[in-house]
Amino acid sequence: MPSFQVGLLTNLVDIEIWGPSKFKHLPSFARLPHLQRLRICDLSELESMDGSEPSGGQGESESFFPSLTFLTLSNCPNMQSWWRKSPIDDDKDDDKDRGASTMAFPCLYYLWIENCPLSSMPLYPSVEYKLILVNTSSRPLKHTIQMSDTTPSTSSLPLSKLKSFKVGNIHEELDYDMLNEFLQKMTSLEHLEIIELPQLASLPLCLQHLVQLKELEIKNCSGLRSLFPVFQHLTSLESLRIYDCTELELSADGIQIFQDYTSLRHLHLKNIPKCRHLPEWLQHLTNLKELNLVDLPNLTSLPDEMRGLTSLEELIILEVPQLEERCRKDIGADWHKIAHIPRIWVNGFWCKTYGRAVEYLCEFISRETGA
């Protein structure tokens, strides 16, 4: 689409461009005054979004995507830069990126970048609702965070109002220190999802200072070995989901943790081969309402402390072969430990139901499969 034609579309509010296509470059939509939502997906040959280098002048900054709040860039595997320019020279990445990074989205609220090796793009300090960075570069995030060095003290710090952050499979190694540095700036974070970061051996220390954090999800972090010593400080956490962490030991190793006021309501454990017994700290989760145990082949029994979880409303056990007989209704060796729970589902069968059994099962299957 020629750029002069884009200029005629001044009233556009929503633009979606989906592949397959052979676009290598797209015209600039930056001057469309009413554009609020932009989605670019499945353009396998796309290399850039804008044909001009940013100058960073005051007038240009003020007119750059003045109304854009939602931006999605997904499955564009050749898109390395927002701007059309020569390939990035690795020895001069910082200089080039900083030159291009004087531009920022003024009111972006939601940003999703997945499967795009985008290492140079406008910055996004105003994102508040959700930030998703999967299979992409961490450089724009790093430069966005570093904007705080030049932000006036009267302004909000970059990403300090962000509520939800999903990060994973970052092209440059995202090690413990770098992740910790990023997260400590996100002081309003309520939901955090970490996926496919094999170099992460323990939870970032700064999590204990994120007092508004309510949901933590960790997936496919093969190097993660322990949740401690950070986990015992997450007393505002309401939901914890841990999937596919092959080296994780759930035990607290004697660390004194938790009080009866813990707010954790939902605990999901899936494919944790080293889970041979449920952790001793489970007994302290007195407000726990939902417990999902999925694909734990080495879990042999349930602890006696299950009887003390009097707030537990739903127990789902799937692909835990050694528990199937032990949790058989009325006759299983572990049945007396869980008989007080209103809804119990073991390997495809409701052992005990109360209320919306079918609806709860559908919700569970949807969560586990991502449907």
Where on the phi/psi map is residue 330: left (φ > 0), alpha (ψ -120 to 50), or beta? left
At 232 the pLDDT is 83
Q: ω into residue 229 within 30 of 0, thus cis?
A: yes
The pLDDT of 291-314, averaged and rounded, is 94
Q: Is the pLDDT of residue 162 over 90?
A: yes
The pLDDT of 34-61, averaged and rounded, is: 77
Residue ranges covered by each domain of the chain: 1-189
Does 315 score more than 80 pLDDT? yes
Position 35 scores a pLDDT of 94
The per-residue DSSP string of 93-118 comes to: HHHHHHHHTT-B-SS--EEEEES---
pLDDT over 50 (residue 215): yes
Alpha-carbon torsion, ordered 171, 172, 175, 179, to 10 deg: -80
Instruction: Identify the bridge partners of residue 25 per DSSP, sorted by sequence position.
Output: 48
The per-residue pLDDT for range 265-276, each reduced to its tens digit, is 999 999 999 999
Q: What is the pLDDT of residue 337?
A: 95
Q: What is the pLDDT of residue 258?
A: 57
Please state, rounded to an integer, the average pLDDT across all residues of the chain: 84
pLDDT digits (tens, 9 = 90+) for 76-87: 999 999 988 644
- Buried residues in 157-187 as b, exposed as e (16+ CB within 10 A): ebbbbbbbbbbbbbeeebebebbeebbbbbb
- H and E: helices and strands count for the chain: 8, 14
DSSP 239: E
How does strand 239-243 pair with strand 14-18?
Answer: unpaired
Are the C-beta atoms of residues 1 and 25 closer than 8 Å to each other?
no
Given a cut of 50, whether residue 92 has pLDDT beyond it is: no
What are the pLDDT digits (tens) for 183-208?
999 999 999 999 999 889 999 999 98
pLDDT score for 175: 79
pTM comes to: 0.86
Task: Tell me the C-alpha distance between 124 and 101, whole Å.
Answer: 10
Q: Please determine, for residue 286, whether its predicted confidence score (pLDDT) is greater than 50.
A: yes
133 vs 68: CA distance, rounded Å = 18
CA–CA separation, 98 and 75 (whole Å): 25
User: Which one-letter DSSP state was computed for residue 151?
Assistant: S
